[in-house]
Amino acid sequence: MRIPVVAGNWKMFTTASEAVALVRSLKALVRDAAGVEIAVCPPSVNLIPAAEELRDSAIRLGGQNMHWEDEGAFTGEVSAKMLKEAGCHFVIVGHSERRQYFGETDETVNRKVRKAFSAGLAPILCVGETLQERESGRTEAVVKTQLEGGLKGFMADELKTLVVAYEPVWAIGTGKTATPEQAQDVHHFIRTWFEKTFGPAAADGLRIQYGGSVKPDNAKVLMSQPDIDGALVGGASLKADGFAAIIRAAVS
Ligand code: PGA
């Protein structure tokens, strides 16, 4: 039995006071939620205020990105250790917006995944194809390349806390969600690749989130697919009641 994991990716939204208010509302709404792991990923400058507000809550905290080096002259970057000390459990790695706008490659993603594990953070590794790649029939090839690159050099027992997020780029922030069948097909492909690469136990335990325009009204049908173990939610995670509804959809 895989416990679903629902994470909110707040992207570059919320000031510190807004982040605290959002966390406070969410906490009250999901206090009784059981059988689901919940996380919020605020902008890095708001992690510590959010962590303070989450002190008496089971909601976990995650970073949205990090550098692969321990420390150094990397203006504007945050390290794994900084995220850890701020109270993070998760870190999103290789989000398509980072790949698209900030030059992230499978190689840098691989280094980040490695550093996340060594710092005791659970990486949420994002993969997914563009519309053009889907329309030219390359979805599986693209996802496979991203998995091979991002997870190069790992042994199965190092990946116990890994979460993979399948996020078709064409579905992110567009209001266009993959159909449950389209999503399930790729999730199944990811689990099968994992099984071939890391063995059946690792594949069976791997949690694969779906992301891309997840909303309260489509969350349930997506997460009831056999290989969909939760959601990575952008826009809809910025409203406490909507995000709480998505969390409830993961449980039922
Ligand atoms: P969205 O974003 O829910 O706003 O489509 C998802 C994501 O980018 O993680």
- Does residue 211 line the site of ligand 1, with CB under 6 A? yes
- Does residue 172 line the site of ligand 1, with CB under 6 A? yes
pLDDT tens-digit readout, 189-245: 999 999 999 999 999 999 999 999 999 999 999 999 999 999 999 999 999 999 999
User: Which CATH number characterizes residue 183's domain?
Assistant: 3.20.20.70
The dihedral over CA atoms of 186, 190, 193, 198, expressed in degrees to the nearest 10, equals: -170
pLDDT at 1: 84
Residue 9 CA: nearest ligand 1 atom is: 9
Which residue has its alpha carbon closest to ligand 1 atom 9?
234
Task: Give Dmax over CA atoms of the chain in angstroms.
Answer: 49
Query: What is the distance between the alpha carbons of residues 103 and 96, in angstroms, rounded to a whole number?
Result: 10
Cβ contacts of residue 217 below 8 Å, gap of 6+? none
Q: Are strands 230-233 and 207-211 parallel, antiparallel or unpaired?
A: parallel
Query: What is the distance between the alpha carbons of residues 21 and 101, in angstroms, rounded to a whole number?
Result: 29
The pTM is what? 0.98
Contact 228, 249 (CB under 8 A): no
Query: What is the distance between the alpha carbons of residues 91 and 70, in angstroms, rounded to a whole number?
Result: 15
pLDDT tens-digit readout, 48-89: 999 999 999 999 999 999 999 999 999 999 999 999 999 999
Query: Domain total for the chain?
Result: 1
DSSP state of 57: S
Distance 212 CA to ligand 1 centre (A): 5
Q: Which domain holds residue 34?
A: 5-251
- Does residue 173 line the site of ligand 1, with CB under 6 A? yes
Contact 48, 87 (CB under 8 A): yes
Distance 231 CA to ligand 1 centre (A): 9
Distance 217 CA to ligand 1 centre (A): 15
Which residue has its alpha carbon closest to ligand 1 atom 3?
234
Nearest to 147 by CA among 124, 127, 130, 129: 127
Query: What is the distance between the alpha carbons of residues 228 and 250, in angstroms, rounded to a whole number?
Result: 10
Distance 187 CA to ligand 1 centre (A): 17
pLDDT tens-digit readout, 6-37: 999 999 999 999 999 999 999 999 999 999 99
Average pLDDT of the chain to the nearest whole number: 97
Residue 230 main-chain phi, psi, to 5 deg: 125, -170
* Active site positions, annotated: 95, 167
- Does residue 100 line the site of ligand 1, with CB under 6 A? no
Residue 213 CA: nearest ligand 1 atom is: 5
